[in-house]
Structure 1
Amino acid sequence: MNEHRTEHPTEDGVALSGAEFWDSRYRESDRIWSGNPNTTLVRETAGLQPGSALDLGCGEGADAIWLAQQGWTVTATDISGVALDRAARHATAAGIADRVDWQQHDLGSSFPAGVFDLVSAHFLHSHGDLPREQILRTAAGAVAPGGMLLIVGHAGWPAWESAPDHDVHFPTPDEVLGSLRLPEGQWEVLISGEHERIQNDPEGRPTTRTDNTLKVRRSAG
């Protein structure tokens, strides 16, 4: 997912659930996102031994499919059934359908079972009241001993946002780290910082966007 608002959207004055909103959003177009894996995921998993991976907020499946192509066994979850159906079709077309388990979850109320060598949460922002800190703490608990947690988020509104909500707080990497409440001595912080990337605006013009990355590894013992 890749949006962040504080109010539930409505349709004819009736508030939509998170699943209804995202289903409606995905039905607007045959493809919402680029179809390419997030560059931070590619960079930060380079050299890792493939194992089990959990992709939170997988959308149309680009990250999960890329991980499967690298040899990972992936559990991928999203709130939108429309997105998951689309992602499953893309996985079949890529020839890796048997390596990805697509699961529908509203992560604030349900979460995939098990532990994973890699847990990835990219741009886990959403419309409505998303309990992001709670979800990310649950995600940390799903990391296997010796495994990695990778959290990537926006550092602020994009330059093209005409009416940004200045009351919205985009947490820094260190704030995300603090909110995880990781037990002392059981985790190693590998990356906590901001980075810039190029993203096209709605008119297709390239613009610079600042994001942040937190990468932590759970101790093996």
Structure 2
Amino acid sequence: MAAHEQDGDLARSQQKHWQTTYATHPGMYGDQPSNAARHAADVFHEADARDVLELGAGHGRDALFFAGDGFTVQATDFSPIGLDQLCAAAQTAGLAERLTTTVHDVRDPLPLRDNCVDAVFAHMLLCMALSTDQIRALVDEVARVLRPGGAFVYTVRHTGDAHYGTGVSHGDDIYEHGGFAVHFFPRDLVDTLATGWEPAEVHPFEEGELPRRLWRVTQTLPH
């Protein structure tokens, strides 16, 4: 089987798995924002950002936080079920007017025009079942849609994580545990993705059970 066919099969299986997971466990991550989103909001406010694009928003705990913190939010995910839960929560919270959702797979170009958003946030989206080439293309897309001086905050699990190198290997530093495939980042990939940006701030942190070991990366597009 060709590599692109394997990538397509993994992408389809992961989308199905996330659809089932959100349907079975609605609001699975709770209603409190991630610490990464709290950090991102501070960065975005400092940069005088008004509109935020969140990639991989899921059921939307962070998107709702951004909307409640005064930003206009565009939230994308490849799970319609997750985004339906986000829309329902936004209606309940009175934030629907500040938030729009789009079903989108980040393996495809972002459905936005050039230089149209002030900030982009992605919590553990870049370390999903994406190939290194797909990750690089996605970051290029983020640079395309950001306005000059725009901030990009993302988090990824890295090769120091206890799950790295275990479970089902899909190649390219992608390993699957319990149906969830993760691309574990080596540090040189983070550095490569920061090429052409202002120097990146890389902050190590831990989250959840095990615990998961992640990097929070903050980088800014030059003016």
Query: How does the TM-score come out when normalised to structure 2?
Result: 0.76
Maintained 8 Å contact 1:60/1:84: yes
What pairs with 1:24-63 in structure 2 (closer than 5 Å)?
24-46=20-42, 47-48=45-46, 49-63=48-62
| Partners of 2:150 and 2:74 in 1: CA distance | 15
Distance 1:90 1:127, change over 3 A: same
Count of aligned pairs: 199
Greater share of residues in helix: 2
2:4 maps to none
| Partners of 2:107 and 2:67 in 1: CA distance | 26
Maintained 8 Å contact 2:205/2:216: no
1:82 maps to 81
Amino acid at match of 1:150: V
| Structure 1 portions without partners, runs of 5+ | 1-5, 10-14, 202-206
Give the drift of 1:110. 3.9
Give 4+ residue runs of structure 1 displaced > 6 Å after superposition: none
Give the drift of 1:196. 2.1
2:118 maps to 117
Aligned counterpart in structure 1 of residue 154 of structure 2, from 141, 145, 151: 151
| Structure 2 portions without partners, runs of 5+ | 1-6, 174-182
| Partners of 2:139 and 2:131 in 1: CA distance | 15
Amino acid at match of 1:85: D
Aligned counterpart in structure 2 of residue 196 of structure 1, from 200, 205, 221: 205
1:21 maps to 17
Maintained 8 Å contact 1:119/1:148: yes
Deviations for 1:143-168, whole angstroms, at most 9, x for unmatched residues? 11121011211114754799434652
| Partners of 1:85 and 1:158 in 2: CA distance | 32
* 3-state secondary structure, aligned to 2:211: strand
Give the drift of 1:16. 4.0
2:211 maps to 208
Distance 1:209 1:93, change over 3 A: same
| Partners of 2:101 and 2:117 in 1: CA distance | 15
Give the drift of 1:138. 0.8
* 3-state secondary structure, aligned to 1:132: helix
1:218 maps to 221
* Identity over aligned pairs, percent: 24
| Partners of 2:95 and 2:79 in 1: CA distance | 21
